[in-house]
Amino acid sequence: MNLVRKTMLFQGVYYLLTGIWPLISVTSFMAVTGPKTDIWLLKTFSIQICMMGIVLAYASLDKEFKPAVVLLSLLTAAGFIIADVFYVIKGVIPPIYLADAFIELIIAFLVASYVLFRRKLETSV
């Protein structure tokens, strides 16, 4: 399994775990991430994060690796980085979200490296 597949598998499992957390215990989630007013929105977003996680994890194990899934991986990570950093700076969410931004940055870096240097990486192996 190459690095981009491992990265996407990690990303999928990470999204699944972080998405399930508020569904299982919204109280413990809010103890770490701060209070929320629209619990229905939190749970809806959590379900969507779980679904993305399932798709990314499954795709990382699939023998037919689709470029669209690599794009989903990269853009999803980028979206979370932008949202985390922007809303922390604005004071809307607590700085703990920068930990997620850091993890997303590593994911985005690894996937982008694969996209940019794919031919070189594939011929050197």
pTM over 0.85: yes
Euclidean distance between CA atoms 104 and 112, whole angstroms: 12
Residue 54 carries which side chain, given as an amino acid letter? Answer: I
The pLDDT of residue 15 is 98
Query: What sign for the dihedral angle of Cα 106, 110, 111, 115?
Result: positive
Instruction: Give the pLDDT band of residue 120 (cuts 50, 70, 90).
Output: low
pLDDT in tens, 74-114: 999 999 999 999 999 999 999 999 999 999 999 999 999 98
Instruction: Calculate mean pLDDT across residues 59-64.
Output: 88
